[in-house]
Amino acid sequence: MTGPGERYPGVARKYLRMPHVEPGMTVGLFGGSFNPPHSGHQLVTEIALRRLGLDQLWWMVTPGNPLKDTRGLPPLADRIAWSEKINADPRVKVTAFEASHDVRFTADALAVVRRYNPGVRFVWIMGADNLASFHHWQNWRDIASTFPIAVVDRPGATLSYLSSKMAITFDYARVDECDAALLASLPAPAWTFLHGPRSPVSSTAIRNGSKPSVNEA
């Protein structure tokens, strides 16, 4: 049986471990394939760090999204390198721990994070463009019940939270945006929608246009 190092060549061992945290810290979790990472990801990161008062924000570079066609997906090592190159804030930690724990679904990844980090306050971060399909995610109700969620505005998705199944189902758990800094201290389910500057850039548009380049992101 091969280990993650053999299955994901070129990935340094440090990325297969979770970043170091201490009890009492507040940490954002931002998952994706980052194929490639771009200014839209950076903007979501900046808004989350500022509005939620985070000590760290993890970019969880996934081996592959189960809801997407992963044929042609660049190697994990490349996507990690791109993510590191685009991030200058020391609070942002790039990690691919999901690969070493053999998890593919967000619900399972969050369960692992909670099990190994008692005493740390986590918030799941996602772009508003994911809200419309969130109820198709594996065990999506478990995700909402594991950690508080911060949904960050994305172009064309500002109103999606009003009609999405997630927003309707957990309407009772919505936290006013002005109280976003308190979100991490609340028991799940709890979620808020963060408005702010929006970037029109998307990984899909980049892939369908010019060759992916972190320098252009």
Chain segment 173-186, per-residue pLDDT in tens: 999 999 999 999 99
DSSP 15-79: GGSPPP--TT-EEEEEEE--SS--HHHHHHHHHHHHHHT-SEEEEEE-S--TTS--TTPPPHHHH
CATH code of 18's domain: 3.40.50.620
pLDDT band of 202, cuts 50, 70, 90: very low
Number of domains, the chain: 1
Rounded to whole angstroms, how far apart are CA atoms 137 and 164?
13
What residue type is assigned to position 87 of the chain?
N
For residue 63, say if its preceding peptide bond is cis, omega within 30 degrees of 0. Answer: no
Q: Comparing 44-48, 70-74, 193-197, 201-205, which segment has the lowest mean pLDDT?
A: 201-205
Asked whether the predicted pLDDT for residue 7 surpasses 90, the reply is no
**Could you list the residue range(s) of the whole structural domain that residue 132 is in?**
4-216
Chain segment 72-99, per-residue pLDDT in tens: 789 999 999 999 999 999 999 999 999 9
